[in-house]
Each structure stands twice: as C-alpha cells, then as structure tokens.
Structure 1
C-alpha cells in the first residue's frame, strides 16, 4: 500500500483573471522504503506540492490518500493529529528551539505526542546519526551539519511513516550535503520510511530511488 497517493491534485491561488494555477493536475505516489527527490527552479511549485502532501495547506481539487485513507473529509483536529503522527518535516533551516539542549528538543516532542511509547529513544537516534555526544549542547554550539542531523533525528522521533525534506542541504557544504542525503537514504531503506526531498542540487540525486522535475506547476518523472 502506498504511504501517500495523489489523484489529480491541483492548487490555484486567487480568483477570476487573477487566478494562478501553482500546481497543475498531479498524480503522485510514495511507497514504503522509497526515497524520492523533486527538482526544478525556484517558483516552479515544488514547495507548494510538498506542503499539500504534508497537509500544511489544502489542495484546490483532487484527492489525497495517506496509508489508504482519503483525508479530504478530515476535521481540523484530525488533520493536526495526522501531521504530527504521520509526517516528519525537515526544513532548510534546522528549526531547533535555540534555548533547548539537544536532549530537551526531544522532551518537547514527548509532551506533544499522542502515540504513547515511541519505538526509538533519542539516544538511539542520535547514535544512529553519529551525534550521540552532542545531547547536552545548545543549537548555537553546533555546526550547520550537526544541527541538520539533530533536526533529522527529531523528525524521526515521533515515528512518522513519511519524511518531507525541503532543501535540507541548502546551507551545507558539498561534503555535509552528501552525508545528509546519505542519511535520508538510510532512513528510507533501513527504517522502511518514505522520504521526499526537494533540492536544487542535481549532484545529490545518486542515492534516490526516483527523481521528479517540476516546471511551471507540472510534475514529470525523470528517473
């Protein structure tokens, strides 16, 4: 069963002669253990698509299924629960809370989760990403690559099926960027998660299972 499946999904901003179709009719599917990338120029609709997939904004038409469930009739409360429990978000900026240590970033998730006992401890996730010795550090004491790995660990902590990464390597040098993409591939393949990554950097596509290109709101599979 697909983790995510889009059927003829569109997004239009504005009305009448001012209407702009940011996303043309789009079909898309993400399977477990699959690592997909979406490339394309700025303003082409990549982030619009990712935020619709993550239910951060609503599509104008079409349907979305998450683990086989049509989410079009979900209430605001159901959508909030869906976003927190089924999705992990990794952004260009690590979005760590500056006054919390690495360990405390996870304690905040503990206070918000509705899943009960989570399948992996913070220590196990930090060790998996090679940063187990940083648990008592604050974000301003970490390098850019370390902050991004903490953000990945935090995104994985609530045990989501789907990881959405929006330009997660934009602030990293080539070596750290390749390392981060390798981690995302490991998450997909070893932990059986679905991962979607937006990137401008075509050098980072080697570990992906599929690549899509977005141009003027039109999504095309190229790998």
Structure 2
C-alpha cells in the first residue's frame, strides 16, 4: 500500500474566462523507501502539487489517500493532526520560530506532539547536519545555510513517514547541498520513509529513485 496517493486530483482557480488550471488531473503515489525528485520552471505548478499532497490546500476535484484513508472527507482538525503525525515539511524559507533557539525548536515539537511513536534522535540529527555548535543560537544569529539545515532537522525530528521538501538546498552551497540530498536518500532507503524533493538543480536528481517534470500544471514521469 502506498504511503500517499493522488487519484484524479486537480486544482483550479477562478472561473469562466479567468479560469486557471494550476494542476491538471493527476494520479501519483509515493511508497515507503522511495525518493522522488520533481523539477520544472517557476510557475509550472510544483508548489501547488506539493501543498495539495501535504494537505495544506484542498484539491478542486479528486481524492488524496494517506495510508489508504481518504482525506477529502476529514475535518480540518483531523487533517492537522494527520499532517503533524505523518508529514515533515522542508520549505525554501526555513520557517523557524524566530524567538526560539535551535534547541528550543525541538522542544516545541515535543510539546505539540500527541503521538507515542519514537522520535528521531535529536543529537544524531544535529551531528549529521553539523549544527552542534549553534544549538543555543536564535535564527537571526544563524547563516542562511544553518537556518535551512535546522529546518530540515526539525522537520525530521518528529519521525514523519512522508517528507516533502520544496527547494531544500536553495540556500546551500554545492557541497552542502549534496550532503543534504545524500542524507535524504539515506532517510528514504534506510528508514523506509517516502521523500519528495522539488529542486531547480537537476544535478541533484541523480540521487533520486524516480524523476518527474512539472510543466504547465502537468506532472510527467521522466524515469
């Protein structure tokens, strides 16, 4: 069974002459242990696809199944709990809480979590992402790369089954970007998570299991 599945999902904005098909009818699935890369030009629908898949916005039509359960009939509270328990989001903007140190970002996750599942080891994440020396720093005292790596660590800490990364390496240099992609590959393959990464850097797609191109709201598998 797929971790998450889209069935004939589309997203429209406006109506009549102003109708925009941001995402054309799409079928898609993500399995455990799978690392999928998606690329495409700006405005092609990549972020729309990812936010719908992550239950952050609703499709105009179609169904999204998470662990076989239809989410389209869930109320907002149930969806919120499901997102927190099952999803890890890594966005282009780090979205760290500005008045919390790196260490306190993890404590916030502990406070909000209602799940009894085991979290990923915080110290291991800090070590792998080279953040040990900045755990007591606030986001304003971090470099762009450190903020992004801290956001990745926080997203993974809750041990999500589905990791959605929108340009996770945008603020990193080439060497650090490659390290992050290798880490996401390890998370997918060794921990049996499902990982989706949107990127403009097609060099990073070599590490993924499958590659899709998004263009004009159409998602097409390339390999």
CA deviation map 1:115-146 (0-9, x unaligned): 13633232232223333343222223333332
Equivalent residue runs for 1:113-192 within 5 Å: 113-116=113-116, 118-192=118-192
Gap change, CA 1:124 and 1:93, over 3 Å in 2: same
Match for residue 6 of structure 1? 6
> Match for residue 87 of structure 1?
87
The alpha-carbon distance between structure 1 residues 162 and 107, as it changes in their structure 2 partners (threshold 3 A), is same
Alignment of 1:35-46 (within 5 A): 35-46=35-46
Residue 193 of structure 1 is matched in structure 2 by 193
CA RMSD of aligned residues (A): 1.4
Quick check: 2:33–2:191 contact (8 Å CA) kept in 1? yes
TM-score by length of 1: 0.95
Q: Deviations over 1:135-168 (max 9, x none)?
A: 2222233333322221111001112110001111
Distance 2:44 2:79 in 1: 26
Instruction: Please state whether the residue corresponding to 2:168 is helix, strand or coil.
Output: coil
Unaligned runs of 5+ in 1: none
Partner of 1:175, secondary structure, is helix
Give 4+ residue runs of structure 1 displaced > 4 Å after superposition.
none
Could you tell me how far apart the structure 2 residues matched to 1:146 and 1:83 are? Answer: 25
The DSSP-based 3-state class of the residue aligned with 1:137 is: coil
TM-score (structure 2 length as normaliser):
0.95
Alpha-carbon distance between aligned partners in 2 of 1:187 and 1:138, rounded to the nearest angstrom: 27
CA contact (8 A) 1:99 1:138 kept: yes
Q: List runs of 5+ in structure 2 lacking aligned partners.
A: none
Residues 103, 122 of structure 1: 8 Å contact kept: no
C-alpha distance 179-121 of structure 1, shift in aligned 2 (>3 A): closer
